[in-house]
Amino acid sequence: MTEVLDYVSDPWTLEFMRRGLIAAVMVSAVAAVIGCFVILKGMAFIGDALPHASFGGVAAAFVLGANLYLGGAIAAVLTALLIGFVSRRALLKYDTAIGILFVGAFAAGILIISRRTNYTPDLFSFVFGNVLGVSWSDVWTTAVVAAVILVLVVLFYKELLFVTYDPSMAAAAGLPVAAVQYGLLALIGVTTVIGLQTVGIVLVVALIVTPAATAQLLTRRLPAMMAAGAAVGVLSSLAGLYVAYYADVSASAAIVLTATAFFFLAFLFAPGRGLLWQRGFSPAGRV
């Protein structure tokens, strides 16, 4: 019995594991909450684009000796707002605007660091994530940013719900639709930046999309979807770190794959909506 307990508690005797867990839990919970809006609006591509775009800002901040997160956040938020502006003006299709802007910003990042090859290992932790390398100051930064995002979502829940669900009706009722849409894009941008150190640019989209999509299969209303998404994200972080510790594999990949596994479980077994449920039990097969 104590052996089992040792297995459970062993990873957390190490301080870098504890720090990594705290950071991963906070990031995955916030990413899932924001991710609910992202997948309901069909904006998963944005969740992929903004982390890449933020790399341009990270690289610029690196060369200038400024705070890397601040640089990344500025680049991500600017890209998000530009995407919103271009698509609101209907100059281009939404996904075309995203494709152009994010690859451009990412390429700018590569261009900047290509002049500084001796420093690139540090920056590569942003590309692939290094959750076990976070410092206490990273943890605190993440905590403050995560708290601000959650408070904003709670305060403006009514507006976010209405504008996400039915923007033309929301505008007719006098809500500031453009401001809410830009605000949501900025929140997505900031969320991706706090995910950079945990799972990295390439994988942060998974923390935004996968737990929220899992939750959508399991819940009926948006508040429940947010809570379930956060729970799936937190569980994935916890389980992923155990896998990383005992199998000695990349922590960010283990967290993301755990979330993917949860999604497939829900996809197959979600009551009423899972694949097996539709085949086996529901004659109507309604989704």
Give me the residues that bind another protein (CB under 8 A), please: 40, 155-156, 158-159, 161-162, 164-166, 168-175, 216, 219-222, 224-225, 286-287
**Residue given tokens 């069909």 in the structure block:** 42
Query: Residue 109 has which token pair?
Result: 């990042």
Exposed / middle / buried, residue 117 (Cβ in 10 Å: 0-12, 13-18, 19+): exposed
Question: What is residue 115's three-state secondary structure?
Answer: coil
Nearer to another protein, 140 or 157 (CB): 157
Pick from 242, 215, 252, 236: which is nearest to 51 by CA?
252
In the complex with another protein, the residue whose CB is nearer, 144 or 169, is: 169
Q: How far is the CB of 178 from another protein (least distance, A)?
A: 12
Nearer to another protein, 75 or 222 (CB): 222
95 versus 159: smaller Cβ distance to another protein: 159
State how far the Cα of 171 lies from the Cα of 185, in Å rounded to an integer. 18
Q: How far is the CB of 277 from another protein (least distance, A)?
A: 16
Amino acid at 160: L
In the complex with another protein, the residue whose CB is nearer, 104 or 223, is 223
Q: How far is the CB of 190 from another protein (least distance, A)?
A: 21
DSSP for 64-95, please give it.
Answer: HT--HHHHHHHHHHHHHHHHHHHHHTTSS-HH
Determine contact, residues 54/196, Cβ cutoff 8 Å: yes
Q: How far is CA 75 from CA 104, 137, 181, in A?
A: 11, 21, 18
If the CB atoms of residues 27 and 226 are measured against another protein, the closer one turns out to be 226
- List strand residue ranges (DSSP E) for the chain, in order: none
**Residue placing its CB nearer to another protein in the complex, 164 or 250:** 164
Q: What is the residue type of 204?
A: V
To the nearest whole angstrom, how small is the minimum distance from the Cβ of residue 50 to another protein?
Answer: 23
Q: Closest distance between another protein and the C-beta of residue 238, in Å?
A: 26
Residue the block writes with tokens 């990273």:
138
The minimum distance between CB 186 and another protein, in angstroms, equals 17
For the bound state, the minimum distance from the C-beta of residue 99 to another protein, rounded and expressed in Å, comes to 23
Q: Least Å distance between CB 161 and another protein?
A: 8
d(Cα 223, Cα 225) in Å, to the nearest integer?
5
Angle at 24 between CA 252 and CA 200, to 5 degrees: 40
Nearer to another protein, 8 or 151 (CB): 151
C-alpha gyration radius of the chain: 20
